[in-house]
Amino acid sequence: MAVVDVKKFQVNLNPTWCPGCGDYGLLRGLQLALAKLDLDPSQVVIVSGIGCSSNLPHFVKAYGYHSLHGRALPTAQGIKMANPNLIVIAAGGDGDGYGIGVGHLVHACRRNLDITYVVMDNQIYGLTTGQTSPTSDFGSKTKSTPDGNYEYSLNPIFLAISAGATFVARTFSGEPEHMSEIIAKAIQHKGFALVDDISPCVTYNKKNTYQWFKERVYKLEDIGHDPFDINQAIQRATEWEDKIPIGIFYINPDKASHDQIDPVIREGGAFSKPLELSDKEKTEILEAFL
């Protein structure tokens, strides 16, 4: 077995998350995945939004961009279109990605640009000290819903499949080794990949704890799930509460990625050619508008 050098993706900086936060598991799983793929830090860029989880780029040795709340995906897509040779990973939380950023998620799924989106889903707004989020369970009591959450939770797996994502998976921070295998496959996939990570918030979410999930999660590969069957994927995507599947729900290898279709990206990206225009190009542009 080849030696996996995780240290090349580690930095001399301690994460600022609460002790026991599920985001530590995602950090470990991501670093393992990058190391297993034998990538170099100079090949990778991680883009995040705002929230506890969006501090992730600071704790991985790679290029990083800490963007605006809910805007990780458009930023990540712009980077990929400018330099398609980069491995582009967007990262955020359920509030960032499924709340203010959900419109960007839908269009990223249907556009199918070759990037990976990892969402640390703790079913709560942790950074702002415990308000209900788009994935909070119905009835959850939080600072913003003291009598219980009256809204039904968003299903990110079902949403991504129906919006056209070509790789949709769920991981669990309590299983970092399994997570690393899933993230590695998501990065290798040619197209948009969503990895929704169950990342328990040990401070503000007292219902959906590590123990609560450990009693319910099971691996899709252990039951012979076929990720190429969209009907099976949708059926498994609706499971929650009593049984919660982790693993790869859906893969569509037949849908061409945006990178394969867009002529500019296919030829190396927006910055692959000199930015200045020749006299002939300037004339042609002027004539087109006169």
Rounded Cα gap, residues 140 and 73, in angstroms: 28
Could you identify the residue written with the tokens 């099976």?
A: 232
Pairing mode of beta strands 116-121, 87-93: parallel
pLDDT in tens, 229-283: 999 999 999 999 899 999 999 999 999 999 899 988 888 887 776 667 788 888 8
Q: Do 131 and 205 contact (CB within 8 A), yes or no?
A: no
Predicted confidence band of residue 3 (pLDDT cuts 50, 70, 90)? low
pLDDT in tens, 95-132: 999 999 999 999 999 999 999 999 999 999 999 999 99
Residue 66, sorted as left (phi over 0), alpha (psi -120 to 50) or beta, turns out to be beta
Residue 207, sorted as left (phi over 0), alpha (psi -120 to 50) or beta, turns out to be alpha
Alpha carbon 224 to chain centroid distance? 25
Rounded Cα gap, residues 222 and 232, in angstroms: 14
This prediction's pTM: 0.92
Predicted confidence band of residue 1 (pLDDT cuts 50, 70, 90)? very low
pLDDT in tens, 32-88: 999 999 999 999 999 999 999 999 999 999 999 999 999 999 999 999 999 999 999
Written as six digits, the tokens of 58 are 């600071």
DSSP 127: T
